[in-house]
A = this chain, B = another copy of it.
Amino acid sequence: MASNGGLVVGIDLGGTNMQIGVVDQRNRIIGREGKKTRAEEGSKRVIERIAKGVGEACTDAGVPLQRIKAVGIAAAGAIDIAHGIVLDAPNLKWRNLPLRNRLQELLDRPVVVDNDVNGAVWGEYRLGAGQGGGDVVGVWVGTGIGGGLVLNHRLYYGEYFTAGEIGHTVLDPGGKAGRRTLEDLCSRTGMARAIKAGLRRHPRSVIRSLTDGTGQIKGSKQLAAAYHQDDPLTVKVVNEAADHLGIALANLVTTLAVDMVIVGGGVTEALGPSYVRRIRRSFERDVFPARCRQCRIVPTRLADNAGLLGAALLAREHSSAGKAAQPLAIS
């Protein structure tokens, strides 16, 4: 039982759902609990629900909470990781929320907070697609586009803790409709917008029936259904988005010379290998110099567990390094 000293908890906190897991020293999820986030009930209730879920995950694993060495939480939003503060999380409706201290008070365990995409990229780097490799850029395509950087074998945060916000980089400065960011061009939101706008010229698109006549795609599964049925409008829009994303990845690899890009998120998982191949072809056309074409563009391996596992690993590493203890002292 002494080896249980290595147990940690990882939490993936999204705007809609949270996933909580107890992770052992061999990085297996030995107990878990999922809950609705219910952001509309306010931060106090959400944090109480997180704490309750941690207890339930421990019960599921058959271990008391006191055995948990540290808790890692990956939250959708901009995070001040040094102080464990959620600076701005639109999906959670949180601003400047001291999540680490609040959760530490309830759980009496050291807590580490990071961004959700950083958590997922770290999970993939350590246990998934990036295992044993070199530096990595992670790009998650969903409602928006998030990114995370592993440089010199560590998550890179930058001076403002916000490194990796590639969804907000400008890719088309002079478009007819003004400058467009990567998110405008390649996120599911951007693709849904382009599909809706294209319906006039594609009156027989399956999109109409798939969306009950509204033309408004609501999730990655709807998008993927039309794509896999070879709906011409959807295929055109998805291919254009993949081409643009390939250019953005080329820019990142030209700049950072990493040898792996991990592509994840709901859109990537739903659209599958042909989407990733299309991204790769576009990437190869533009990356510089030629030797950087060796860089691999790979899908995630851990799927939904990446964020939870990454958060658990961050908790373990910070507590081993004594970093979680230090902020506790000043909190």
Contacts and interface: CB of A to CB of B under 8 A. Distances in A.
A157 to B, nearest CB: 7
A215 B243 CA distance: 37
A258 interface: yes
A183 B152 CA distance: 28
A252 to B, nearest CB: 7
Contacts of A151: 151-152, 156
B247 A160 contact: no
Interface string A144-166: 00010101100011111111111
A45 interface: no
Interface residues of A, number: 47
Nearest to A168: B288
A32 interface: no
B255 A169 contact: yes
A286 B179 contact: yes
Contact of A160 (B161, B174, B257): B257
Contacts of A251: 169-170, 251
A45 to B, nearest CB: 27
A121 to B, nearest CB: 14
Contacts of A291: 160, 162
Given A160-B259, A160-B291, A179-B247, A254 B172 contact: no
A5 interface: no
A78 B157 contact: no
A58 to B, nearest CB: 35
A191 interface: no
A173 interface: yes
Contacts of A289: 78, 88, 160, 162, 165, 168
A171 interface: yes
A256 B252 CA distance: 11
Interface string A264-303: 0000000000000000000000101101101100000000
Interface string A108-152: 000000000000000000000000001100000000000101011
Contacts of A169: 250-251, 254-255, 288
A295 B163 CA distance: 13
A247 B182 CA distance: 13
Nearest to A175: B174
Contacts of A165: 254-255, 257, 288-289
A205 to B, nearest CB: 23
Nearest to A288: B168
A100 interface: no
A255 B257 contact: no
8 contacts: A152-B156, A159-B257, A159-B259, A160-B292, A162-B289, A162-B291, A164-B255, A170-B247
Given A160-B295, A172-B174, 17 more contacts: A134-B159, A149-B255, A151-B151, A160-B257, A160-B291, A162-B291, A163-B255, A164-B255, A165-B255, A165-B257, A165-B289, A166-B255, A169-B254, A169-B255, A172-B173, A173-B244, A252-B255
